[in-house]
Structure formats: C-alpha cells, structure tokens
Amino acid sequence: QVIYGRLTVGELAAFYAYLGMFYNPLNRLTELNILLANSQSAMERIFEVFNTSPEITDSATAKDFPFIKGEIRFTHVYFGYERSKTVLKDINLYIPAGCTVALVGPSGAGKSTFVKLVPRLYDVSSGKITIDGRDTQDFKLGCLRRHIATVPQEPILFSGTVYENILFGKQNASDKEVQAAALSANAHDFIGKLPKGYETEIGEGGLKLSGGQRQRIALARAFLKNAPILILDEATSSLDSKTENMIQEALKRLMKGRTTIIIAHRLSTIQSADSIVVFHNGEIVETGNHEELLQHSYGLYRQLYDEQFNKKVAMNIE
C-alpha cells in the first residue's frame, strides 16, 4: 500500500505502533482468563473445606473445667487412622501432674500419634484418656486445648509481626505479658535488635528469622499461654552451641511445674526426665528412667542409646 501511494510511511508506522499497544492488553486478558479459571477451582476447594463438618466435636455433656493439675492417664487405648490398621495397641500409661515424660523409639513407632490424642486432634478407637480423672471427651474442646501448649519440631509461624506471632499463645495478653514471655524464652534480646523490634514483619513461616529465632518465638508463645500441660516435639535441626544452650535454658524454665511430654530425638537431652517411655510398632515396650533402662542390656532403649553414642564418637574422631 505504501508503494502504490495508498498509505504513507507515517501511517504504516502508526499502524504498527497501535498494533503493539493492543497486543499487551489482549495478552493480559488471556492471562486473566486463565487466572480466573484457576481461581474458580481453588475457591471450590476452599469452600469444600469451609463446608466440611469436623469429625471431632463436643459431646452433649461436655463442660468447661477452668483449672486442672495435669495428671494424664491412658487406659487400654487403641487407635488407627484407618479401621483396618491399628497404630497404637493397648497403651496403658500414667503421667503424674508436674512430671516430665520422654517418648523414644524408632521412626513410625507411634510417638507423634500418642501426643495427638491428648488434645483430641484424633479420638481413640477404644479405651480411655483422662486428665485429672476426667475423660478428655468430657471437656469442651476449647477448654481442653487451652490447658495444653504445644511446641512442634518445626515452629508454626505466620506472616505478620513478632508481637502478633507471640500473641497467638494468649489473644488478650498485655504488652508486658508478651515481653515477659519473650524474656523467659531468651528471645527478648534478639527481638530488640530487629529493625522494628516486636513490630518487625517476619514473613510467611518466619522466613526472615533464623531457625533458633523461630524456635524461641514458639517457646515465647508457650510461655504466654502458661498451660499446665506441655507437649514438646524436640527440634532436630542443627544449631550453634550458644543458641542450643539458650533454647535448653528456656525449655527448663518452661517445663518447670508442668506436666511435660517430650518426643525425643536425641537421647542426651532427656536423661533427667522423670520417666522414659519406649515405643516400638505402636506398643510400649519399656518404661523407666535413664539409668534403669540402660541396665537392660538387650533392651531397645539401650540399643538406641548405643547407636547414638557410637555415632557421636565416630563424628568426633572424623
């Protein structure tokens, strides 16, 4: 058209310029259409979750019990995630109030499942779990879980500030209570060095914090909750010796006077526990303190202890 004089060079240039201007909006419309289609699928899944009725609910006779000592008893407890597969078999265990009990055993032995039954994340298949002599199903769920603080192996932190994450332990806590909890958890000093202190945004999962800092935030949350029962899944992540010592000091303070159940991964950290419970294939195979269990030459605890000790010696030699 330009050759035949029907279109000027300027008009051709303008045509291509306008074509380029149209391309990006049209391309974005296509991307938006794909995004909307994906969002619709995601929203359907979200509403499925919202509309799901919880399997664990309050019984008709459930009550609030504002104060408990923390005495726990498992009586002939069986549990399976599926009816055809039993994970815990005939568990009988008494934990006096204020005592520390460590759970040890190979991976998959049933330790994590055991602790999930205490706050009724799952209900037993048969048998009974009592706290201070009352069946856990006689407690209202909210009441039961207020009496239990959990420090998981990998701390669960949320996008928000340090302050907001500690506050999950007790929603109506004062600023002084939050800071006191952080002090007890050996977290106050490092928080003070953050750009905005307690108001510092930590990112999803606490990605802006180190592993040791995340663990101390989780401990501060447990201090703030001040529950009589503590469930602690010992962290396996490697920390420098200074941070490790600070966390161990905080844990000793946190455990004092509370009924504490520890899922132990390093046997060196639980030698002072009042009782050690050894799990294997969903059953309790040994109980006793550290010294007593070491006397069982062919016992599972002695075997696990020797394996960890020999591994540590080999690493030191290397």
CATH number at residue 203: 3.40.50.300
Q: 157 lies in which domain range? A: 72-317
* DSSP H or E run through 18: helix 9-50
pLDDT at 239: 74
Whether residue 19 lies inside any domain: the answer is no
* Whole-angstrom distance, CA of residue 311 vs CA of residue 306: 8
pLDDT at 311: 66
Whether residue 10 lies inside any domain: the answer is no
* Whole-angstrom distance, CA of residue 202 vs CA of residue 26: 38
Phi and psi, residue 233, nearest 5° = -95, 105
* Whole-angstrom distance, CA of residue 167 vs CA of residue 211: 20
* Whole-angstrom distance, CA of residue 198 vs CA of residue 9: 64
Report how far apart the first and last C-alpha atoms of the chain are (Å, whole number).
Answer: 81
Say how many domains are in the chain: 1
β partners of residue 276: 102, 288
Strand 126-131 relative to strand 100-104: parallel, antiparallel, unpaired?
Answer: unpaired
* Whole-angstrom distance, CA of residue 46 vs CA of residue 57: 21
Cβ partners under 8 Å of residue 5, min gap 6: none
Whether residue 38 lies inside any domain: the answer is no
Number of H helices, E strands in the chain: 10, 10
Whether residue 35 lies inside any domain: the answer is no
Phi and psi, residue 309, nearest 5° = -65, -45
Whether residue 63 lies inside any domain: the answer is no
- Token reading at 50: 């919202």
β partners of residue 102: 262, 276
**Buried/exposed code over 196-230 (b: 16+ C-beta within 10 A; e: otherwise):** eebebebeeebebbebbbbbbbbbbbbbbbebbbb
Whether residue 156 lies inside any domain: the answer is yes
Strand 229-233 relative to strand 259-263: parallel, antiparallel, unpaired?
Answer: parallel
Per-residue pLDDT of the chain (318 residues; tens, 9 = 90+): 656 667 776 776 777 777 777 777 777 878 887 888 778 877 888 888 788 878 899 989 999 999 999 999 999 999 999 888 899 999 999 999 999 999 999 999 999 999 999 999 999 999 999 999 999 999 999 999 999 999 998 888 999 999 999 999 999 999 999 999 999 999 999 999 999 999 999 998 899 999 899 999 999 999 999 999 999 998 655 677 888 889 889 999 999 999 999 998 888 888 899 999 999 999 999 999 999 999 988 999 999 999 888 765 554 555
Whether residue 189 lies inside any domain: the answer is yes
Whether residue 101 lies inside any domain: the answer is yes
pLDDT at 310: 75
pLDDT at 21: 76
> What pTM did the predictor assign?
0.81
pLDDT at 259: 98
10 Å CB burial of residue 288 (0-12, 13-18, 19+) is middle
